[in-house]
Structure 1
Amino acid sequence: MKWSFKILIILIIVLLFTTGCWNRREINELAITLAIGLDTTMDGQYLVTAQVVNPGEVASEGGSGSSSVVIYQATGETVFEAFRKMTREAPRKIYPSHLRILVIGESLAKEGIGKPLDLLFRDWELRSDFYISIAKGMNAEDILKVPTTLEKIPANHLFDTLKVSEKAWSATSSVTLDDLIADLVSDGKQPVLTGIEAFIKGNEEAALSKRNEEMIDSPARLLFDGLAVFDKDKLIGWLNEKQGRTYNAVTNKVKSTVVNISCPKEGKAVLQLLKSKAKVKGKVKNGKPEIDIEFHREYNVGEIECNIDLTKPETIDKLEKIEEQRATKMFEQSIKQVQEEFEVDIFGFGEAVHRADPKAWKKLSKNWDKEFEELPVNIKVEAKIRRIGTVGNSFLKELK
């Protein structure tokens, strides 16, 4: 009996701590939100746009003719208030736990993105693995209202496009919330975000309707273009393509890309970049900071449009030297342009100096923007061509 009584007491205690799913959410009570847009209004409020999945349209095989997503919008003095105001229109609570992409309007980005990001960083229901992009020259709401092809859900289209573009083309960069916050609070590096634009040709009404999805040459397209430069949390300008490629190369974000180079005599050759590694080292000489960058890059020959013999080792050596000179020139010019035009350290050179000489950094960090503007950057590029493709010399040589 004593043992039975003890077991009963233990069971009662365990039951007290077994409360079940007290905070459970039924799926039919939630509006699954895959994309969010943040803008500012004329009177200084936030305009929040939520791209919500239409479950009936996504689940049905043939589709009912309705859109696969629904747009809900609300304004408020804070982002949280705007989200709650959406319940006046949406039959379900906005649920952003599966968020794929956050788009911030350019006007809001220029005012500052720190305050509106606080809710997204603080909310325990929100995962931080979504991508963040800046609507280039337009509002975020305009981006989220464009129907897309290939993917039924525009948010998935944007997420996958940025992911593929980052791997295949080195002028874009996918940034998550954690990455952005880390750059915002860093002493030696400023944030950079990929820009996104909407191109609409012809009839705007047709472009923004479901018919846009059904056309081969759709009149409305979304395009990731340019990298947005920030000073703390405020947008101050845009990098061009060469500057964007340089930024990704220096920060080791390049997965793959292609580059055009001149052949030794005439014509063009195309190299496919397979691997890129940058070693950034900082140093302080006589109180002045300096940066050394060593690039180690590996290539395949992707295309030949000139009369050269790829079977000769000296030809490969010449192509490697040409690429080293091209890359060195582009990196030097782009870094210098960023120093002169933006005067903010987006490359993380301050972090490199901090690692090399923490004591000197304490003094340098007080006026780092000025130091960065005049910072000497020494660049060395090593290019290696590993393979020339499935054939040797081009058949174009035989045609000539």
Structure 2
Amino acid sequence: MNKRILFLTILCLILTGCWDRNELNELAITMALGIDKVDDEYVVSAQTVIPGEVSSMKGGPGESPVTLFQAKGATVNDAIRNLAKLSPRTGYFGHLQIVVIGETLAQEGISNTLDYLSRYFEIRSDFYLLIAKETEAGKILNVQTVLERIPANTIFNILHTSQHRMSNTSAVTLSKLIVDLEREGKEGVITGIYIMGDEESGSSKQNVESITPTTQLKMDGIAVFKEDKLVGWLTDEEGIAYNIITNQVKNTLGTLSCPEGGKVTINVDKLTSKLKNTIVDGKPEIKIDIQIFGNIGEIDCEIDVTKKETVKMLEKTYEEQVEKNVNETIQVVQDDFQSDIFGFGAAIHQSNPKEWKKIKSQWGTEFSEIKTTVKVKVNIRHFGTVNNPIQENIKD
């Protein structure tokens, strides 16, 4: 009897299949979602792959490999479910790369949207979030792009390129944003995306057939949040300062003015930043220690980089420039937004929990008044294969 039961159990395990399995040709694979709020209704835009167009090499450049489905609903969940009324295939979000949130919705608050996205079983939390700057998310996803056949891939690659090459944006996943919003003493940020050119022309096939597209997508600024609401934007320079303070710089570029006119560029290939909390006269203070390592990139003036004093002068100039940018950015965020996007409060909480308990209830006010000290050390290590500018060696 026991053998028979064991045999039947094993047989059931072997013969069991996936009851909810879907074949690939039954799925509508969504690569990017746009979420807007218009007239008290949510509008969800799903950029969905057309498998035949992606796999086929015969299609011309004007034949888009994606389509955009849009549906409305009282909630995000309702709107996503209503997409099923438009698509002949089952929506699949397992390969979602990008979610764009409209600026109007971001200003109202995104906690409900984030909560739904984090709960939806099919969506992984490693996709990237963006804010549609001065437009709707659906219009962002409706722009046809060159180089990459799938616009979601273009957006993904632009975000990573700007983050790793210039450090003026911040690549934020759903999981990272939720951690920041729930963490004591730290607010969230999301990179903005902007339509350059005519919005209407961006959706036409002519936009990808031209050598110079009339409409392009551009990463533009960093959205500052207080709790779950968008309260303002950082410029590109302020975005670099934000990444410096939060120790997220991979590479960036510094442009310096020469004493007698012209410019020198510094290619930064390593940067570390540390926050230290101290208590002075019963008040918390933040010290920011920044170390920068870089190389001379372009020299557009007459200077001799073989001389130690020249290198020291460039290092000091860049130190002063970075210190000024960081201090001014902190001041802007303290005065205009009162939002601790830098994590000063989190640093106090970690290093001095007792002090944090005293001030956390009024941290918004405390953050706006906290004193910060910035110290920058620059080390220029390499000068390229040519020590002096070629223009100095050209004979009249």
Shorter chain as denominator, the TM-score bin is over 0.9
Task: Map residues 310-329 of structure 1 onto 2, 5 A cutoff.
Answer: 310-329=305-324
| Aligned twin of 2:353 | 358
| Aligned twin of 2:57 | 61
1: distance between equivalents of 2:361 and 2:320?
A: 36
| Aligned twin of 2:163 | 166
Structure 1 residue 89, shift from structure 2 partner: 1.2
| Aligned twin of 1:154 | 151
1: distance between equivalents of 2:184 and 2:276?
A: 17
| Aligned twin of 1:47 | 43
TM-score (norm 2): 0.96
Deviation digits for residues 314-336 of structure 1 (CA, Å, limit 9, x no counterpart):
22112111111111111111111
2: distance between equivalents of 1:302 and 1:79?
A: 48
2: distance between equivalents of 1:179 and 1:33?
A: 22
Instruction: Calculate percent identity across the aligned residue pairs.
Output: 46
2:239 maps to 1:274: no
Structure 1 residue 175, shift from structure 2 partner: 0.3
* Equivalent residue for 2:256, pick from 256, 261, 265: 261
Structure 1 residue 15, shift from structure 2 partner: 3.2
2: distance between equivalents of 1:11 and 1:382?
A: 72
| Aligned twin of 2:221 | 226
Structure 1 residue 252, shift from structure 2 partner: 1.3
2:218 maps to 1:193: no
| Aligned twin of 1:106 | 103
Deviation digits for residues 68-90 of structure 1 (CA, Å, limit 9, x no counterpart):
11111111111111111111111
TM-score (norm 1): 0.95
Amino acid corresponding to residue 236 of structure 1 in structure 2: V
| Aligned twin of 1:334 | 329
Q: How many aligned residue pairs are there?
A: 393
* Equivalent residue for 1:124, pick from 121, 124, 140: 121
2: distance between equivalents of 1:360 and 1:100?
A: 41
Deviates more, 1:364-373 or 1:63-72: 63-72
Consecutive unaligned residues of structure 1, counting only runs of 5 or more, are: none
Amino acid corresponding to residue 55 of structure 1 in structure 2: P
2: distance between equivalents of 1:293 and 1:331?
A: 10
CA-atom RMSD in angstroms = 1.5
Consecutive unaligned residues of structure 2, counting only runs of 5 or more, are: none
Structure 1 residue 17, shift from structure 2 partner: 4.3
- What secondary structure is seen at the aligned counterpart in 2 of 1:128? coil
Structure 1 residue 205, shift from structure 2 partner: 4.8
| Aligned twin of 2:87 | 90
Question: Is residue 284–residue 353 contact of structure 1 (8 Å, CA) maintained in 2?
Answer: no
- What secondary structure is seen at the aligned counterpart in 1 of 2:265? strand
1: distance between equivalents of 2:179 and 2:280?
A: 29
Deviation digits for residues 1-53 of structure 1 (CA, Å, limit 9, x no counterpart):
xxxx75543232233445322232211111000010000011x1110000000
Deviation digits for residues 220-267 of structure 1 (CA, Å, limit 9, x no counterpart):
100000000011110011111221111011111111011101224432
